[in-house]
Amino acid sequence: MSSPFPIPLNALRAIEIVARAGALAPAAEELGVTVGAVSQHLRRAEERLGMELFARTPQGLKPVPELVDILPQLSAGFASLRDGLATLTGAHEGVLNVTVGSVFASRWLIWRVNKFSSRHPGLEVRLTVTGAMLDLTRPDLDCGLRFGDGNWQGVSVSLIGGQDFQPVCAPEFLRRHPDMSDLGKIPVIADQTSMLDWPLWLGAAGYDPKLKLSGPVYSDASLAFDAAISGQGILLAADMMSADAVCDGRLVRPFEKPVKGGHGYYLATARGRRESKKLKLFRDWLAEEVPASARGYLFQSSPDAS
């Protein structure tokens, strides 16, 4: 009977890492071998399969289209093996590792994660805060909270909220600029990292979508948010992210005209990866907490408070 694995598992792992990382060194480091050994793994695998897996280019190794097509399956397969071993030994069951962007972490999650921890005292949440799209097949990551259109390669997603957005500003700024009818003459904070669409909101609110806006420019979303709170200008923000600041009076929504955009916040996991019990608990909590946060639940004594 022929073997279902015509190439050794270590060689298959080397192929997956090199295809994902685009270099030999990461595979050598993860497998604990030399770069030369990884190169031998690839060469022998190609010989056994009777096909090239990588194109050798001046920019490095590029996986051929056939390998690109099956890469999500390979990555998910190795992630499942790691998860299975962790379940067998009980390792990491008490820690949920989440990668998240700075705005979601600082404006929403950090104020609520204690609720999740109180409900599940044996489960610790560890956050990796970064704007980078980290590889969710990594063994030290269980899931990610990402803002975008939800279309990411090799990732399974579920929308949790954040599609509605509108301008916000500090109450003091609104007092200085009571007439918001001419946005072209009012300082508008530009967040260079934002995916929110000013032309979309302007058109929906009855303005010229091509209206020229000007004001302070920030390359960090958290700083842009703080700039709005400090009264530097008006900022386009997702309602989910501005809800707490609006509830406690640090921000106001001068137009009260939310628009639903094509982007939102998603819970993301590596495609094909088994959902662990801890991840399901986190998913269920998000499904409950996100709608509650839109009502300013954080500042209420109970979910039924008025």
Domain assignment of residue 306, yes or no: no
Report CA-CA distances (Å) from 19 to 41, 134, 260: 13, 16, 37
User: What is the domain extent for residue 72?
Assistant: 9-88
Low-confidence ranges of the chain (pLDDT < 50): 1, 299-306
Rounded to the nearest angstrom, the gap between the alpha carbon of residue 158 and the centroid of all alpha carbons in its chain is 11
List Cβ neighbours of 132 (8 Å cut-off, separation of 6 or more).
Answer: none
Judge if 82 and 122 occupy the same domain: no
Question: Which neighbouring-strand residues pair with 270?
Answer: 155
List Cβ neighbours of 304 (8 Å cut-off, separation of 6 or more).
Answer: none
Return the CATH number at 282. Answer: 3.40.190.10
Residue ending a domain, choose from 88, 121, 137: 88
Domain assignment of residue 38, yes or no: yes
Judge if 240 and 170 occupy the same domain: yes
pLDDT for position 92: 57
CA distance 218 to 180: 22
Exposure class string for 127-150: b at 16+ Cβ within 10 A, else e? bebeeeeebbbebebbbbbbbbeb
Residue ending a domain, choose from 88, 120, 148: 88
Cα separation of the two ends of the chain = 70
Judge if 243 and 186 occupy the same domain: yes
Judge if 168 and 250 occupy the same domain: yes
Domain assignment of residue 242, yes or no: yes
Domain assignment of residue 22, yes or no: yes
Return the CATH number at 17. Answer: 1.10.10.10
Q: Is residue 126 within 8 Å of 95, Cβ to Cβ? A: yes
pLDDT for position 304: 42
Domain assignment of residue 41, yes or no: yes
Pairing of strands 124-129, 217-218: unpaired
Q: What is the pTM of this model?
A: 0.71
In degrees and rounded to multiples of 5, residue 84 shows phi and psi of: -65, -45
**Which residue carries 């639940």 as its tokens?**
297
Residue ending a domain, choose from 63, 88, 113: 88
Structure tokens at 245: 């600041």
pLDDT for position 298: 54
pLDDT for position 10: 86
Judge if 246 and 277 occupy the same domain: no
Tell me the Ramachandran region of residue 155: left when phi exceeds 0, alpha when psi lies from -120 to 50, beta otherwise. beta
Domain count, the chain: 3
Judge if 138 and 275 occupy the same domain: yes
Domain assignment of residue 73, yes or no: yes
Domain assignment of residue 103, yes or no: yes
Among the listed residues 243, 190, 244, the one whose alpha carbon sits nearest the alpha carbon of residue 213: 190
